[in-house]
Structure 1
Amino acid sequence: MSKARYAFPLVVLGFALLILLTIYISLTNGVYDISPWDLIQTMLGMNDNADKVLVLTEFRLPRIIMAALVGTGLAVAGAIIQGVTRNDLADPGILGINAGASTAIALFIFFLRGNLSNLGMFEQFAMPFFGLLGGILAAVLIYLFSYKNGTLPVERLILSGIAVGSGLSAISVYLTLKMNTQDFEMVVTWTAGSIWNANFDYILVMLCGLLLILPVLFISAHMLNIFHLDENSIKSLGVLPDRLRMGFLLGSIALVSLCVAASGGIGFVGLVAPHIARRLVGMSFQRLVPVAALVGTALVMISDFLARTILQPTEIPVGMLISLIGVPYFLYLLYRTYK
C-alpha cells in the first residue's frame, strides 16, 4: 500500500503530461495541419486567418474539451459502480443508462423528425436533453425493480439493469428500422458514440453538471473503501450500506446520463479506466477515483484524435474505436478472473 501511495503523485504527473501532449497533437494535426507557431498566435488572438480560427475554435478545441469531460465522467462512474457492486467487471452500461438514453433519442427523432426547426432556441439542446431524461427514467425503472423490503441488493440491481437495458435496446432498434435514411444515419452515428458535433453550448451545460457532481464524489470517495468489507461488518461500523450505496449510485447515474446525452454510447471507458488506475495506485478509492478520471480523459481524447485522423478525411465513431480496445481487454479480465 505504501508503494502505491508514493506512486500517486508520479502517476498524476505522468497522465497530466500525457493529456497536455494529446491536446497539442490534436490541435495541430488533422486534415488541415497547423504549425506550433500558428497555433500560439491563433489561440492568443494574434492571427486573424479565418480558416485557422475556424478549425481551432469551432472544431478541434470543442471536441478536445468534450472528450475530456466525457472520459472523466464515464471513468469516475465506472470506478464507483465497481466499488459499490464489488464487481471489477462492472461497467456503467450494466445499469441500462446507455440503453435508456439511446431509446429516448430514438423516440425523439422518430416522432419529431422534420419538425426540429419549430423548437427555436431549444433545438440544439433537444437531443442531449432527451438523452439525459431517458437515462434518468431508465435508472428509476431499474431502481423500482431492484428495491425489495427496504434494501437494494446488488444482485437484483445488476440483473434488473441487464433486463431493462435489453428491453430498451430492442425498442430503440425497432424505432431505428422504421426511420428514413437521414434519421437512421443520425441515430446510428449517435448510438455508436461520437462527439463530432461538440460545441461550447453543450460543453457549458455538461461542465455545470460535472462541477456539481464530481467534487462531492471525489471528497467522499474514501467511503467506497467500506465496501471491501461484508455487509455485516459494514453495519457494525454504524454505516447503512444500502443508503450509502444509493447515494453513490445516484451520483454515477447522473454522470453517465450527462455523458451519454452529449456523446452517445461510448462504452468500456468505465471498465478499462478503473482497472488501469487500480494497477497503478492500488485499491484505495481516494487515489483510485481521481487517477481513473485522468486515465478516462486520456483514453477518450487519444481515441477521438485517432478516430478523426486514422482514415482521414473519413471519420469513424470514437465509441467504435474504444470498443476495439475494450472488448479484448474485457475478455482478458474475464479470463483472469474466472480461470
Structure 2
Amino acid sequence: MRKTVLIAIALSILILVSAYVSLVYGVINVNFTDVINTLFRIDPSDQLDLVIFDFRLPRIVIGALVGFGLGIAGTVIQGVTRNGLADSGILGINAGAGAAIVIFMLFFQGQLDLTGWLSIMIMPIFGLIGGLLAAVIIFFFSWQKGTFDTGRLILTGIAISSGFGALSMYISLKMNSSDYEMAAVWVSGSIYNANWIYIISMIPWLVILIPLIIRKSYLLDLFRLSDISSKGVGVPVEREKIKLIILSIGLISACVSVSGNISFIGLMAPHIARQLVGMKHQYILPISGLIGMFLVVIADFVAKNVFTPVELPVGIVISMIGVPYFLYLLVKQKR
C-alpha cells in the first residue's frame, strides 16, 4: 500500500510537470508569472486568457481525463479476457465511434440547424452512439451457448474493427477535401478541438463508472483463476464479466467520442502498472489511470510542438510508442 501511494505521488508530480510544460510552451510562450496571474485573475489579459483558457488548458485537462479513462478501461478488458494484448482499439470500440463520426460529417454536418451546447456536443454524441453500437455487435457474436466467450470477444473485436475501419474509409472518400482532412485527423486521434463543454460532458461518465469499476476490482483478481475456480468461490462469472465489460465500454465510448481513435493507452498502461505495483487490481487500476493520463498529456505536447509547423494527431504519436511496445509484448509472450 505504501509503495502504491509513493508511486501515485511520483506519477502525479510527473503529470503536473508535463501539464505545466504543455501550458507554457507553444507558438506563444508564456512564463510562470503569466500563468499565475491569469489563473488567479491577478493581472488578466485577453491574449493570455485566449491562449491559456481557450486553447491550452482544455487540451491538457481533456487529455488527462481521456488517458485516465482509457488506462482503467484497458486494465478491465485485459483482466476480463485474461489477454495481455487486449485493448479498446483491438475490440473495435474506437473504430465504431470513428465510423459514426465520419457518417455524421458526410450526411449531417452543415445540414442540422443547431446552436449553443448541442452544436458542440453533436459530434461526440454520434461517436458515443457508434462506440456503443460496436459494443452491442461484439456482445452479440461473443455470447455462445449461454456463456460469454472472451476468446471470441477478441476475434470478433478484430473483425468489427476492420469492418468499421473499411466503412470509415469508404465514406470519407466521398467527402470534399476539407471534410476529409477533418475526418482523417479525428479518426487518427486528436484533442486539438478540446473545449470546456467536452470536459463537462465527460466528467459524469468518469465519476460514475470508475468508482463502480474499482469497487469490483477484486473480481479481476479472481478472473486470473479459471472460470471453474471462480465459480467455486461463489462468483457468478458470466454476469460479472458482462457488467465489467459494459462499464469499460461506457468509459471507452465517452473518451473516444471527444478525442477520436486513441489506441494503445489501454494496452501499455496496465502492463506498466503491473510492473510497478504487482498483480493486485485494487492498486493496478488507479496507477494504470495515472500512467494513461501522463502518456496522453506528454504525447499531446510532443504532437503540437516537436513537429511544428505541422501538428500531428496525438493518436499517431502514441502509436509510435504503442506499436513497438505491442510487438515487444508479443515476442515476450512467445518465450
Equivalents in 1 of 2:184, 2:225: separation in Å? 42
* Alignment-mate amino acid for residue 295 of structure 2: L
2:307 pairs with 311, 320, 333, which one?
Answer: 311
1:20 pairs with 3, 16, 19, which one?
Answer: 16
Aligned to 2:105: 109
* Alignment-mate amino acid for residue 245 of structure 2: L
1:120 CA drift (Å): 2.5
Aligned to 1:322: 318
1:31 pairs with 27, 31, 36, which one?
Answer: 27
Equivalents in 2 of 1:35, 1:167: separation in Å? 48
* Alignment-mate amino acid for residue 158 of structure 1: I
Aligned to 1:237: 233
1:269 pairs with 261, 265, 277, which one?
Answer: 265
Aligned to 2:76: 80
Aligned to 1:287: 283
1:323 CA drift (Å): 0.3
1:54 CA drift (Å): 0.7
Aligned to 1:49: 45
Aligned to 1:147: 143
Aligned to 1:120: 115
> How many aligned residue pairs are there?
334
- 1:67 matched to 2:63: yes
Listed one character per residue, the Cα deviations across residues 142-184 of structure 1 (whole Å, up to 9, x for unaligned) are 1111112211111111111111221111111100111110110
1:59 CA drift (Å): 0.6
1:223 CA drift (Å): 1.8
| Mean CA deviation greater in 159-168 or 323-332 | 159-168
Q: Secondary structure at the match of 2:50?
A: helix
1:220 pairs with 201, 216, 220, which one?
Answer: 216
Aligned to 2:7: 11
* Alignment-mate amino acid for residue 177 of structure 1: L
| Mean CA deviation greater in 174-183 or 308-317 | 308-317
Equivalents in 1 of 2:128, 2:175: separation in Å? 22
Give percent identity, aligned residues only: 47
Structure 1 residue runs without a partner (length 5+): none
CA RMSD of aligned residues (A): 1.1
* Alignment-mate amino acid for residue 24 of structure 2: T
Q: Secondary structure at the match of 1:119?
A: coil
Structure 2 residue runs without a partner (length 5+): none
| Mean CA deviation greater in 309-318 or 197-206 | 309-318
1:228 CA drift (Å): 1.1
Equivalents in 2 of 1:311, 1:165: separation in Å? 29
Residues 70 and 263, structure 1, Cα contact 8 Å, conserved in 2:
yes
Summarize the Cα distance change of 1:167–1:43 in structure 2 as closer, same or farther, 3 Å threshold: same
* Alignment-mate amino acid for residue 301 of structure 1: V
* Alignment-mate amino acid for residue 167 of structure 1: G
Alignment of 1:124-139 (within 5 A): 124-139=120-135
* Alignment-mate amino acid for residue 211 of structure 1: V
1:6 CA drift (Å): 4.1
Q: Secondary structure at the match of 2:26?
A: coil
